[in-house]
Amino acid sequence: MIRVKGLKKRLSDAFLLEVDDLVIEDGERVALIGMNGSGKSTLLKLLAGEWTPDEGDIRFEGAAEQFGYQPQSPYCFRGSVEKNIRLGMQNDAPEFLETLLTDCGLSDLRAKKVSALSGGEKQRMCFARMLAGEWPCLLLDEPLSAVDITTARMLEEVLVDRCRKQGSTLLMSTHLPAQAMAVSTKVLLMDGGKVIEYPATKDFLSPKSDFGKEFIHQWDIR
């Protein structure tokens, strides 16, 4: 379980993140969504401990204390795709690696050097490396932003399937409403550094706030 209380982080005179009260239960998959600059990445950086809050309290309890974090620009180690993924593995069974490479569409790239990968291939490799850790809790910041739509759909299914099988808690930021709905059980809608709504995914298309209604209308989501 993750508990956030009275969280504040000022990044500039114009931006203040404020999260009064937020609880993420074990096994929930939460999509953080909002326009650019809404506070999604800031919240994830605070949860991951990359940044320190100005005020407030963040508590990871139980299994969620063991988490993996993938920032928007994940780091690639020198060497091959396979080497990078192996560095994230906690399960050294050969069949585990083979399944992960297949599921993430990386089998044909396993021997390719990182320096020769495209931006989308690098992001896909880092995504697979994060899944290789079998973390009880995943904090993912726009992890599929550089991959094509077809690949993104495939990886969304892989992510949801692994979270379900492992009982993992997920917090994932995205700017795409369709992706948010595909991976989540709840949606955290943000604007101006604040949580506007936090509905179950099935209720996301029936927002209560004016901003939520405008956001849904803008994206023409049905």
Residue 73: the pLDDT is 87
Q: Give the residue numbers spanning the domain of 19.
A: 2-219
Closest CA to 197 of 15, 28, 5, 22: 22
Residue 24: the pLDDT is 96
CA 179 – CA 99 distance, rounded (Å): 23
Burial of 36 (0-12, 13-18, 19+ CB in 10 A): exposed
CA 2 – CA 127 distance, rounded (Å): 22
Residue 222: the pLDDT is 56
Residues 6+ apart with CB under 8 A from 71: 41, 44, 45, 48, 50, 141
Residue 90: the pLDDT is 85
Amino acid at 28: E
What total number of domains does the chain contain?
A: 1
Residue 4 tokens, joined = 């956030």
Angle of helix 149-166 versus helix 119-132 axis, rounded to 10:
10
Closest CA to 89 of 124, 48, 131: 131
Per-residue pLDDT of the chain in tens (222 residues, 90 and over written 9): 999 999 999 999 999 999 999 999 999 999 999 999 999 999 999 999 999 999 999 999 987 789 999 999 889 999 999 999 999 998 888 899 999 999 999 999 999 999 999 999 999 999 999 999 999 999 999 999 999 999 999 999 999 999 999 999 999 999 899 999 999 999 999 999 999 999 999 999 999 999 999 998 887 665
Residue 95 tokens, joined = 């069949």
CA 204 – CA 196 distance, rounded (Å): 12
Place of tokens 């994060």: 130
CA 173 – CA 176 distance, rounded (Å): 9
The alpha-carbon radius of gyration of the chain (Å, integer) is: 17
* CATH at 210: 3.40.50.300
